[in-house]
Amino acid sequence: MSNTSNVVVQERAVVVPGEILAEGMDFLPGDNTYRVGDKIHAKILGLVSVAGRVLKITPLAGPYLPKIEDKIIGKVTDITMSGWRVDTATAYSAMLNVKDATTRFIKKEEDLSKIFAIGDYLVVKIINVTSQNLIDLTLREPGLRKISEGRIIKVNAQKVPRIIGRKASMITLLREKTGCEITVGQNGLVWLNGTPEGEFLAEKAIKLIEEKSHLEGLTERVEQFLGGQKLPERKTEKAAPEEA
Amino acid sequence: MTYKSRLDGRKDNDLRPMEAKVGVIPNAEGSAWFKIGNTWAIAAVYGPREIFPRFLANPQKGVLRCYYTMMPFSGSGERIRPGTSRRAQEIAMVMKESLAPLVDLSAFPNSVVDVFVELPQTDAGTRCAAISAAAMALAHAGIPMKDMVSAVAVGRVDDRLVADLDYREEHIGEFNPDSHDAPVADTPIAMLHASKQLTLLQMDGELSKEMLLKLLKLGEEATEKVYQVQVNALKENYSSE
């Protein structure tokens, strides 16, 4: 039997759902694949990768599935007795409890809308997800906060790893060239904060990454797009009066 | 009188010229259009997203919801009233039944995936074009699916068994005086590619058992041609440059 086992698609080939990836029992079905008889089929549109005996597929598109420890960007949609309801740009809204929102003590009768109002955007971390995708959030970690300036754009959640890049190479490049502060939520919302020109350029670069993410040499392509220019960082509001 | 040769000169197992493209509705999570002859279906997929009304939610897995609409100017020119009709609702149901077995929404409890299909132009075979376009749009949206589904109509015009009937063949008596009372049967089928299972099999007209079995063979060959067009369009979208 082992003589007949073989992979029938190439590494990094685009496959469609149902397509046969391998024949024979020597290979194992990994993420987004399944086995019927002695054949392994694709379960999603994506790129094939072979790691030893395991075949898996990296999706080219698709919904975000909430995971513990993920940093995401959400929008406050409602205020309850004990916290805030946050829209996560998925099919599931999340809860941010008062005790996870600040380190400060909040009195029972305090007006929660004074802390976060409906419509506020937050950079938060997921601390719990149930089987029904009910989500709990926290703000009590470094880097997590309320967003009060800049712009939010939405990208496909599957492209987030490409926007960050290997060892954050891509996002470092974007930050340097555009002078923007960039925060990427795993749910596909990206917060850009810089000069209007910088934000505009960063948005276009991120759209380019989203479009070309399946191709090789992405960093070079983006570098070429951003060119030799280097936009200045925006002066923060605090720094401005000192200069004047 | 018999139906000697097909009105548009095709061979019995020939389909009308097909064309397909994905990513045609940028706002949608996934989208595609599928053209076969003069029939043109555009599909857009949204979701998984929160389901309304809430009582439709299923805590075990996500719900698939389909909408089918012919545009007001799409048919013969007789204005088609916008919005749903009994026929549109039935076709939407049939679409859902033929797509539901292949999509796996178990990771998305209490949510919904909406599939909208609009037809700017129609010339018979709309439910099949709608299903073929919807399958492409679902794949493009990154929804987990165990297979691709391809749909096409086969049928009988007089004594001939033919693939992909157009409007004139479905109403052969009006268009070919030779066969004014010839029997016609239209059999739309949808078949999964890998497992060769049928997810749609309807029959409008009269067929003998032998004819039906032959038509299923013909349909298997025909859906394979549709599949090739679908796959090429999906892969082309991601080709380098």
Domain positions in chain B are 18-233
What residue ranges of chain A have pLDDT lower than 70?
A: 1-3, 229, 235-244
β-strand pairing of A6-7 with A20-23:
antiparallel
By Cβ distance, the residue of A45, A91, A216 closest to B142 is: A45
- In three-state form (DSSP H/G/I as H, E/B as E, the rest C), the secondary structure along A29-96 is ECCCEEEECCEEEECCCEEEEEECCEEEEEECCCCCCCCCCCEEEEEEEEECCCEEEEECCCCCEEEE
- Identify whether the C-beta of residue A39 lies closer than 8 Å to the C-beta of residue A65: no
Closest Cα to residue B223, out of B202, B203, B241, B196? Answer: B196
- Identify whether the C-beta of residue B29 lies closer than 8 Å to the C-beta of residue B142: yes
- pLDDT at position A235, please? 65
CB contact under 8 A, A44 and B111: no
Residue B21 CB-density burial (10 A; 0-12 exposed, 13-18 middle, 19+ buried): middle
- Identify whether the C-beta of residue B23 lies closer than 8 Å to the C-beta of residue B44: no
Question: Which residue intervals of chain A bear CATH 2.40.50.140?
Answer: 71-147
CATH hierarchy code of domain A2-59? 2.40.50.100
- pLDDT at position A238, please? 47
- Find the DSSP H helices in B51-181: 86-99, 126-140, 167-170, 172-175
Residue B26 CB partners (closer than 8 Å, separation 6+)? none
Half-sphere exposure in the Cβ direction for A56 (13 Å, CA) = 7
Amino acid letter for position B144:
P
Buried b (16+ CB within 10 A) or exposed e, A200-227: bbbbebbeebbebbbeeebeeebeeebe
Closest Cα to residue A182, out of A198, A197, A159, A167? Answer: A198
β-strand pairing of B39-50 with B30-36:
antiparallel
Distance, in Å, from the CA atom of B134 to the CA atom of B103, rounded to the nearest integer, reads 11
β-strand pairing of A151-154 with A189-193:
antiparallel
CB contact under 8 A, B234 and A16: yes
CATH hierarchy code of domain A151-226? 3.30.1370.10
Closest Cα to residue B126, out of B69, B52, B172? Answer: B69
Distance, in Å, from the CA atom of A144 to the CA atom of A147, rounded to the nearest integer, reads 9
What pLDDT tens digit does each residue of chain B (241 aa) get?
578 889 999 999 999 999 999 999 999 999 999 999 999 999 999 989 999 999 999 999 999 999 999 999 998 889 999 889 999 999 999 999 999 999 999 999 999 999 999 999 999 999 999 999 999 999 999 999 999 999 999 999 998 999 999 999 999 988 887 777 889 999 999 999 999 999 999 999 999 999 999 999 999 999 999 999 999 999 999 986 5
Distance, in Å, from the CA atom of B233 to the CA atom of B16, rounded to the nearest integer, reads 17
Question: Which residue intervals of chain A bear CATH 2.40.50.100?
Answer: 2-59
Task: Classify A71-147 by CATH class.
Answer: mainly beta
Q: Give the residue from B147, B149, B191, B224 with the most A CB atoms within 10 Å of its CB, the best one to mutate.
A: B147
Residue count (chain A): 244
Determine the Cα angle at B140 with ends B46 and A53, to 5°: 125
Distance, in Å, from the CA atom of A49 to the CA atom of B179, rounded to the nearest integer, reads 57
Contact residues on chain A for B108, CB-CB shorter than 8 A = 63, 91, 133
Distance, in Å, from the CA atom of B188 to the CA atom of B99, rounded to the nearest integer, reads 14
Question: Which residue intervals of chain A bear CATH 3.30.1370.10?
Answer: 151-226
Reading across the β-sheet that carries B18-22, which strands appear in turn?
B18-22, B30-36, B39-50, B111-121, B63-70
Q: Is the pTM higher than 0.80?
A: yes
If you measure CA to CA, which chain A residue comes closest to B51?
A91
- pLDDT at position A3, please? 58
- pLDDT at position A239, please? 42
Distance, in Å, from the CA atom of B48 to the CA atom of B59, rounded to the nearest integer, reads 14
- Identify whether the C-beta of residue B135 lies closer than 8 Å to the C-beta of residue B95: no
Residue count (chain B): 241
What single DSSP character describes residue B230?
H
CB contact under 8 A, A92 and B148: no
- The number of beta carbons lying within 10 Å of the beta carbon of residue B181 is 8
CATH 3.30.230.70 fits B18-233, yes or no: yes
Q: What are the residues of chain A with a beta carbon less than 8 Å away from any beta carbon of chain B?
A: 14, 16-20, 32, 34, 36, 41, 43-46, 59-63, 65, 90-93, 131-133, 156, 158, 214-216
Q: What are the residues of chain B with a beta carbon less than 8 Å away from any beta carbon of chain A?
A: 29-30, 47-51, 59, 62, 102, 104, 107-112, 139-148, 192-195, 230-231, 234-235, 238-240
CB contact under 8 A, A45 and B47: no
Task: Give residue for tokens 């009994």.
Answer: B86
- pLDDT at position A232, please? 79
